[in-house]
Chains A and B, each alone.
Chain A
Amino acid sequence: MAKLANLTVSPKGEKKLVSQFEETLKTVEVIKELNTEGVEPISQVTGLTNVMREDEIDEQRIIKIGDYFKVKAIFNNE
């Protein structure tokens, strides 16, 4: 799991982590006993969908150099 999360765990911390990990899992596992058949999962509470911004240039968000504006480089320096 640590590898998957790109984390390094010291051998000393490993033992404590394993036991705390198990304890935590045991605590959250109570949700398994709840019957959620037919219940829709919900990932956010705003009620907003497909929030778009106006298709306008926001002058505040562009870095201007004279009459040009800055974009990410597509060629290397060399």
Chain B
Amino acid sequence: MNKLTEESILSLVSKLKSKEIFPDDIMAECQANIIKFNPKINAFITEVKPEIKGIGGLLLGIPYALKDSYVTKGIKTTVGSRILADYIPQYSATVVEKLNNNGALLLGKTNMDAWGHGASTENTDFGIVHNPWDLSRVAGGSGGGLAAAIASRMCLFGIGEDTGGSIRNPAGWCNITALKVTYGRVSRYGCVAYASSLDTVGPTAKTAEDCAVVLQIIAGRDPFDATSSNHEVSDYVGGLRKDIKNIKIGIPKEFMAGELILAAAKEFEKMGTTVVEVSLPSLKYAVAAYYLIAPSETSSNLARYDGIRYGKDRSNFTFESVRRIMIGTYALSAGYYDEYYKKAQKVRSLIINDYKKIFETCDVVLAPISSESATKPGELLDDPVKNMMADVYTVTTNIAGIPSLALPCGFTQDGLPVGMQLQGKMFSEDLLLRLGYHYQQVSDWHKKIPDL
């Protein structure tokens, strides 16, 4: 019986309303899972004992977790780095305010690659995160802790942060559903910056429907973030059941779409969509452009961490972060600026144009998330080039600013989860979530849970 953690957010909300269940019931299950599984997984940096209070709100009584990149008033916020190991913020991020005002209950802050610098949650000062599907493997990154927490049902949903794949990569490796939103769709106020022109704030959950419920609350213009958009917030939840017939799905020929992705494409075809081949010729240069733009911006953003007003000094940056800061410093330095940073910004224009062309012939792009399944510790961290290449399918959307929904689409022969992503035009979250919802009505990959 029970297993409330397997239910959808909407179903729990309605049961809570009718007093069939109480917030304590859900909380008890989540906390039992944390006690049982967290020692093996190391998903949390900080656990919070939530106070169940409030009388209203769309998410009243629903427990959630935050990637530790969001500032929380009075609650330690580390960004996975020793530099901020004792840092207690004086205010909360907009996304946190919105969720708390809607009655959601914060259960804890999750482990991550320090400053978002990584694709495996190995570059953390708080111990690596173990993949719930195979504890000898990593959970992906940079938001590995959050993805692992949801996969092992320690909370109902979470908020991740995606600069080059940090929401989607761990979602794929941990078999959960997660959305990287359009740049500016959700306020970044209070989100510790990695690379400001690429950073996005998005929901992570079990299903596309749950992601829609959360996005409905967190989306919208925020006066505290001048880059947040005035673009109208769609009815994400109401739109889920709308028809998907005649939607055109493009698969870029440059992507190595494996068997499982192609099988998913077949499922979409059965539901009345058409699948066409498209081309993203600048893909070859995307990783290079990303690994110039992101380090450049991070070298500037992290320049402020000198330990004078708060936090520890710069000798506490990890080796990985030191390298990224130095590459960025190099790319921005006089004499190299045109050759590297400016050139990368031109490539950014080309990638945006490629996507514009693609979306003239199709509505969404179906793509793999990663070229391989979850790796063993050390495989990525000790090999910077491999670490960069791990992001090849995810960075293009950050560069172009467009949204992308990560969904489970099967398992490898070794039983490791494989994810796919649906990418769309700017502000097409409603369409992506609708397609994801329909796919999850005819598939049950997202219902599979690890045997812990």
Query: Which of A24, A51, A53 has the most CB atoms of chain B within a 10 A radius of its CB?
Result: A24
Flag whether B342 is at the interface (Cβ < 8 A).
yes
- Tell whether, in the assembled complex, residue B227 and residue A48 are in contact, meaning their CB atoms are under 8 Å apart: yes
How many of A's residues come within 8 Å of B, CB to CB? 36
Residues of A within 8 A of B326 (CB): 1-2, 5, 7, 17, 21
Question: Is A44 a contact partner of B303 (Cβ separation < 8 A)?
Answer: no
Q: What chain B residues lie within 8 Å of A2 (beta carbons)?
A: 322, 326
A residues 4-56 with Cβ under 8 Å of B?
A: 4-9, 13, 16-17, 20-21, 23-25, 27-32, 34, 36, 39-46, 48, 51, 53
| Interface residue? B56 (CB, 8 A) | no
Contact B288 A27 (CB under 8 A): yes
Distance A58 CA – B183 CA, assembled complex (angstroms): 26
> Does the CB pair A31–B285 fall under 8 Å?
yes
Question: Interface SS of chain A: helix, strand, loop or mixed?
Answer: loop
Q: What is the interface of chain B mostly: helix, strand, loop, or mixed? A: helix
A2 to chain B: closest CB distance in Å?
6
B13 interfacial by beta-carbon distance below 8 Å: no
Binary CB contact string for chain B from 343 to 374 against chain A (1 if under 8 A, 0 otherwise): 11111111010000000000000000000000
Q: Counting chain B CB atoms within 10 Å of each CB, which of A4, A13, A31, A53 scores highest?
A: A31
Contact indicator B197/A44 (Cβ below 8 Å): yes
Which of chain B's residues 206-261 have a Cβ closer than 8 Å to chain A? 223, 226-227, 229
B288 touches A29 (CB 8 A): yes
Q: Are B401 and A8 neighbours in the complex by a CB distance under 8 Å? A: no
Interface size class of B (residues with CB under 8 A): 35 or more
Contact B347 A36 (CB under 8 A): yes
Given known A8-B314, A27-B388, A48-B227, contact A1–B346 (CB-CB < 8 A): no
- Are A40 and B349 within 8 A (Cβ)? yes
Nearest CB on A from B312, distance (A): 13
B351 to chain A, nearest CB (A): 9
Q: Is the CB of B183 within 8 A of A46?
A: yes
Assess whether B384 is interfacial by the CB under 8 Å rule: yes
Query: Can you list 15 pairs linking A and B with CB atoms under 8 Å apart?
Result: A1-B326, A1-B333, A5-B325, A8-B314, A8-B315, A17-B322, A24-B384, A27-B291, A30-B285, A36-B346, A40-B349, A41-B349, A44-B183, A46-B184, A58-B223
Q: A4-B333, A42-B349, A51-B227 are in contact. List 19 more A-B contacts (CB 8 A).
A: A4-B329, A5-B303, A7-B322, A17-B319, A17-B323, A20-B384, A27-B291, A28-B291, A30-B285, A30-B288, A34-B282, A36-B350, A42-B346, A43-B345, A44-B197, A45-B183, A45-B197, A45-B352, A51-B226
